[in-house]
Structure 1
Amino acid sequence: MARAGKSPLNCDLAVVGGGPAGLATALLAARAGLNTVLAAPQAKPDHRTFALMAGAVRMLQRLGAWDTLLPRSAPLRRLRIIDDTGRLLRAPTVEFDAGEIGLEAFAWNFPAAPLSQVLGELVGKEANVKWLTGAVTSCDAGPEGCELMLDDGTAIHADVVAAADGRGSLCREAAGIAVDTWRYPQTAIVTTISHDRDHMDVSTEFHRRTGPFTLVPLPGKLSSVVMAETPEGAKRLQELDDDALANEIERRSHRLLGAVKIAGPRGSFPLTGLLPKAFAKNRVALIGEAGHVVPPIGAQGLNLGLRDAAMLVECLGQAGDTDAALAHYDRQRRGDVVSRASAIDVLNRSLLS
């Protein structure tokens, strides 16, 4: 992976953004025969974890990434939902077993870092992808294609741009795609814990008045934690030292996993939502968080982003007019994304009511 010179480049598809969804888009496009440029600086460290469902796993298998990732993942064979709202009338605890519906697991959970590393290594070996490490500083999008400029002076002309450049997408704005955004009265705290009891491949979600509190298995006696809190409550949690935060997680989890220790960095982010007015316009197609932001419920975020990648490449690979292909992409992604985002929104707001 090396910085490009300043000669203009022409390509079928320019992928802007080097997160997992962007890397997957570049790989899929290249292997479908599209002349592909990936414009993405080296990614910053990402301490999140992702729970990928069967469709995403099948994609990673096709890309040749899954055999490396599997040992770093934990299967979610059972899902447990506990009403911990403290209300007088509470729902009974519910458990779902993947085996009962013929699945090995509902999803596989693993850290973001190895996913990006493995996909990045595959992109680096792909002859049909030119990876530029300059950051996109401008995008001129129109009906005949897009002109991109990088901070190292490189100019790119792309028939289509896959905007995988995040929720504040420069390319989305350049294409004239408006968005609806909203905020929830919640902040999420995320971290990794070790525990002295085996999680038994069970993902547990406590429904609390401030939102979900979720324990998701990782390999060994490790789990990722997501706690949705009020902004004030999240601030208090962030101010706790590791021992005090571990004690709070033990209390909230009713010691299901026994004694707990903080085993990784912690982070926080406000819970927000974002949906675009269009998923493609002026030769720019939205991928990942450029096209949808949802609360961390039901592990939808990256799974949606990988479906974006697969659908875009499928549409562009069909013979015919590029604009018709992007119109088809817009219709297909709108139905999937809006329905799932609406369901997540209703569930999250129901916990707050």
Structure 2
Amino acid sequence: MTQIRHDDRSRIRSVSQTAEPNSQTPLYDVAVVGAGAVGLASALALARDGLRTALVGRHAPVADGRTVALLDGSVRLLRALGAWEALEPQAAPLTEMHLIDDTGSLFRPPPARFVAREIGLDAFGWNIENSRLVEALRARAREVPDLTLIEHDSAGCTVAKDRALLALDGGGSVAARLVVAADGGGSPLREAAGLTARRWTYPQKALTTILAHTSDHREVSTEFHTREGPFTLVPLPGGRRSSLVWVSAEARAEALSALDDDALARAIERQAQSMLGQMRIDGPRGLVPMRGLSVPRPVGPRLALVGEAAHVFPPIGAQGLNLGLRDAAALRDAVAGSRDAGAESVLSGFARGRALDARLRTGAVDTLNRSLLTAFLPSDFARGAGLLALSTIAPLRRLVMREGVTPRLGTPSLMRG
């Protein structure tokens, strides 16, 4: 993720200002700012079509115990970008998903079981450590002829009629017809452009880590719904390793994070009802604040927002990064065939196409999370009835599974089956 140092912030100029073209500044079709997974995927997708693309951002190490469940459409994208072959041996298939109500509700439904083969897939997706995903995308980016890697932070952006000019923190600048902000939830480019963002927080944090356990996960991802949030175990390769996302109240999450490895492993085993046997901490830990952000219109003059620059929500339901990857693939479709990647017509089409998808995913995750935090009986009843319906009504279950994995409406071309 691109970072702008505190002493650089005074040099950030609004993208509504005028940039003076300079014959010494290289001109690209697109400059992507941010070297995380979404930024890398965006740059690769655009360069794949022969667009002269620059990727601006430092390649910082990633090691916080987080994994990502790449849904089927995201895997199709990574395959089209030439990155999946290196990733597949390091990823575990998710062939089943189980939801277990552990809230103590009076309307507690039986566990809901979802099987990928019911919708014609071998797996809903594949779980992989985030650090491995980013490293594989970086390796692929170094191989692509039309992609230039500029390992400096952006220090500001100005806009002329036909281009944007990015200043670099090490000196120099980059000009592009379009700037893509993949610079995270605090996006300096979004803030400098004056794009409206709605923000909210939750009274929770998510503890993330990697686990080893004595029983085989059998490629089943299990999510316990508790009164403080979801507790999710997701398979990793080898059968006896899983990733953990444990959402709980802030104080409890901080207390859990402060435990030594043995004590934390015992607490996880108890919360998991010993379903995977004895636990052992087998990777780094992370503690993630639970927050949300949405941008009604994720474009500005010669600027497009992707990933967390455009939308942030809790790590629930494997939707966050997958939504960001859909942004990347959709931007590639919007730009394809255009003589000017930053033209207003191109950006308007991209914004229209992403608005509904982002709104639906953000709303679904927000509604689920908030429903767990209240003991309000009608809310409990509605959530329990919904899970019961998914368990017993096969056509509804299949529809929800398909929409969760790859939405039917507006799916970008590189993500289609």
1:218-233 paired onto structure 2 within 5 Å: 218-220=236-238, 221-233=240-252
Structure 1 match to 2:35: 18
Does structure 1 conserve the Cα–Cα contact (< 8 Å) formed by 2:61 and 2:131? no
Is 1:168 paired with 2:191? no
> After superposition, what is the alpha-carbon deviation per residue over 1:148-198, rounded to whole angstroms, capped at 9, x for unaligned?
111111211111111000011111122221100000111110001000000
> After superposition, what is the alpha-carbon deviation per residue over 1:255-306, rounded to whole angstroms, capped at 9, x for unaligned?
0000000001111011000001311111110111101101111101111111
Indicate the SS of the match to 2:314.
Answer: coil
Is 1:263 paired with 2:299? no
1:123-162 paired onto structure 2 within 5 Å: 123-141=141-159, 144-162=162-180
1:3-152 paired onto structure 2 within 5 Å: 7-47=24-64, 48-141=66-159, 144-152=162-170
Does structure 2 conserve the Cα–Cα contact (< 8 Å) formed by 1:78 and 1:96? yes
Q: Give ranges in structure 2 of 5+ residues lacking alignment.
A: 1-22, 375-417
Structure 2 match to 1:288: 307
Indicate the SS of the match to 2:246.
Answer: strand
Structure having the higher strand fraction is 1
CA shift at 1:145, angstroms?
2.8
Distance in 2 between the 1:7 and 1:203 partners?
Answer: 53
Distance in 2 between the 1:320 and 1:156 partners?
Answer: 19
CA shift at 1:227, angstroms?
0.6
Indicate the SS of the match to 1:34.
Answer: coil
CA shift at 1:143, angstroms?
5.2
Identity of aligned residues (%): 47
AA at the equivalent of 2:147: V
Structure 1 match to 2:382: none
CA shift at 1:320, angstroms?
6.3
Match of 1:307 among 318, 321, 326: 326
Distance in 1 between the 2:354 and 2:193 partners?
Answer: 17
Q: Give ranges in structure 1 of 5+ residues lacking alignment.
A: 1-5
Does structure 2 conserve the Cα–Cα contact (< 8 Å) formed by 1:145 and 1:159? yes
Tell me how large the CA RMSD over aligned residues is: 1.4
Match of 2:338 among 319, 323, 326: 319
Distance in 1 between the 2:93 and 2:230 partners?
Answer: 20
AA at the equivalent of 2:97: L
After the TM superposition, which of the residue ranges 21-30 and 313-322 deviates more from structure 2?
313-322
Indicate the SS of the match to 1:86.
Answer: coil
Distance in 1 between the 2:39 and 2:278 partners?
Answer: 39
CA shift at 1:86, angstroms?
1.7
Indicate the SS of the match to 1:125.
Answer: coil
Does structure 2 conserve the Cα–Cα contact (< 8 Å) formed by 1:41 and 1:133? yes
Structure 2 match to 1:331: 352
Structure 2 match to 1:3: none
CA shift at 1:73, angstroms?
0.5
Distance in 2 between the 1:255 and 1:184 partners?
Answer: 29
Does structure 2 conserve the Cα–Cα contact (< 8 Å) formed by 1:145 and 1:282? no
After the TM superposition, which of the residue ranges 316-325 and 194-203 deviates more from structure 2?
316-325
AA at the equivalent of 2:281: I
Does structure 2 conserve the Cα–Cα contact (< 8 Å) formed by 1:141 and 1:284? no
Structure 1 match to 2:17: none
TM-score, scaled relative to structure 2: 0.81
Indicate the SS of the match to 1:90.
Answer: coil
Distance in 1 between the 2:280 and 2:108 partners?
Answer: 30
TM-score, scaled relative to structure 1: 0.96
AA at the equivalent of 2:255: R
CA shift at 1:88, angstroms?
2.9
Structure 2 match to 1:177: 195
Structure 2 match to 1:215: 233
